[in-house]
């Protein structure tokens, strides 16, 4: 009977990828205009081994003044989770909501730190409602929108 007990454990949380680009420095740093900021987020999940999954949250932060890039940050924070004996119909919610909620605060901290180490005021990513994001993705799939694309 204990073999069927649901298991959900965090094995590890880690920064999988990160980059900071400042292609127009130092000239762009002398601009007085406020830059525009575009932030894109994504969630991915993949099996690693039997009952073990990697869930990652990716953030891309692109700041521009007019058509010139001030900085571009891309970071992917991942976690390895052991998930066993969970009904198949609940797996999507666990990997699309619960796991990203655990990983995301680490991503927020790493993005803010990376931007600040680049000489800019830190960019603090807002809190994300992963349940709402997951539900939008499910609705998009049901409507035939390509996988991973979110309705605007």
Its pTM stands at 0.85
In angstroms, how far apart are the furthest CA atoms of the chain? 67
Q: What is the pLDDT of residue 3?
A: 74
- Compute the distance between CA of residue 33 and CA of residue 27 in angstroms, rounded to an integer: 13
CATH 3.40.50.620 fits 7-141, yes or no: no
Q: Which of 136, 113, 123, 116 is nearest to 42 (CA)?
A: 136
pLDDT (average), residues 19-45: 92
Residue 2 burial (CB count, 10 A): 5
pLDDT (average), residues 133-147: 80
- Compute the distance between CA of residue 93 and CA of residue 46 in angstroms, rounded to an integer: 14
Q: Which of 121, 139, 142 is nearest to 70 (CA)?
A: 121
Residue ranges per domain, the chain? 7-141
Q: What is the pLDDT of residue 31?
A: 87
Does residue 62 carry a pLDDT above 50? yes
pLDDT-above-90 percentage for the chain: 73
Q: What is the pLDDT of residue 148?
A: 47
pLDDT (average), residues 49-69: 96
H helix intervals, 46-129? 88-93, 99-117
Q: What is the pLDDT of residue 2?
A: 55
Does residue 151 carry a pLDDT above 80? no
Q: What is the pLDDT of residue 145?
A: 60
Q: pLDDT band for position 146 (50/70/90)?
A: low
pLDDT-above-70 percentage for the chain: 93
């Amino acid at each position: 009977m204990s073999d069927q007990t649901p298991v959900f454990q965090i094995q590890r949380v880690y920064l999988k990828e990160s980059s900071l680009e400042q292609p127009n420095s130092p000239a762009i740093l002398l601009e007085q205009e406020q830059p525009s900021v575009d932030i894109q987020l994504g969630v991915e999940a993949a099996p690693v081994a039997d009952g073990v999954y990697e869930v990652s949250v990716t953030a891309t932060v692109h700041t521009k003044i007019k058509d010139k890039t001030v900085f571009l940050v891309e970071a992917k924070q991942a976690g390895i989770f052991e998930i066993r004996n969970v009904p198949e119909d609940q797996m999507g919610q666990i990997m699309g909501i619960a796991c990203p909620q655990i990983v995301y605060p680490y991503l927020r901290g790493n993005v803010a730190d990376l931007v600040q180490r680049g000489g800019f005021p830190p960019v603090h990513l807002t809190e994300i409602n992963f349940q709402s994001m997951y539900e939008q993705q499910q609705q998009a799939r049901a409507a035939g929108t390509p996988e991973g694309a979110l309705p605007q």
